[in-house]
């Protein structure tokens, strides 16, 4: 009986050590994958000029449940503003019918509603990874 207890203990110690090593490896390599994804999102946002109205607000379930604002531009085109990973709360604040404006090379998005303006600095956390 005592021998069975020792083998169970060894098993749990080995599993614990392997789990710890796995977590350290994931933590070491994962930030670089996240950085790439977040920085790509941030650059895509900077490359966009927004001047329109929120036509639709939805969760894109097939696309990893991404938070999306569909912006109808004044020139007739549409832009999908993906906000999953954003910490500014723009998605939570915006509603259908709000006017949205954003200049090129900026992450500042201005939302106009009933004559009031509210600015959001959309932040995907990309700058957190620049020190690696």
How do residues 95-104 score in pLDDT, each as one tens digit?
999 999 999 9
Pairwise CA distance, residues 126 & 124, whole Å: 6
pLDDT for res 42: 87
Residue 85 has which token pair? 């990973």
Region 31-55 average pLDDT: 82
Candidates 11, 57, 6, 32; CA nearest to 130 is 32
Residue 21 has pLDDT above 60, yes or no: yes
Task: Specify the pTM.
Answer: 0.69
Task: Give per-residue pLDDT as tens, 117-127.
Answer: 999 999 988 76
C-alpha dist (Å) from residue 121 to 18, 62, 107 = 41, 27, 6
Domain boundaries, the chain: 1-132
Closest CA to 43 of 1, 88, 104, 109: 104
């Amino acid at each position: 009986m005592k021998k069975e207890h020792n083998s169970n203990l060894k098993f749990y110690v080995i599993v614990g050590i392997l789990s710890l090593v796995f977590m350290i490896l994931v933590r070491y390599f994962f930030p670089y994958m996240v950085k790439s994804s977040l920085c790509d999102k941030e650059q895509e946002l900077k490359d966009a000029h927004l001047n329109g109205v929120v036509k639709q607000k939805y969760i894109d379930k097939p696309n990893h449940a991404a938070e999306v604002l569909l912006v109808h531009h004044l020139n007739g085109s549409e832009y999908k503003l993906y906000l999953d990973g954003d910490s500014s709360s723009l998605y939570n604040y915006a509603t259908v019918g709000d006017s949205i404006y954003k200049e090129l090379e900026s992450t500042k998005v201005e939302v106009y509603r009933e004559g009031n303006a509210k600015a959001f600095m959309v932040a995907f956390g990309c700058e957190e990874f620049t020190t690696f």
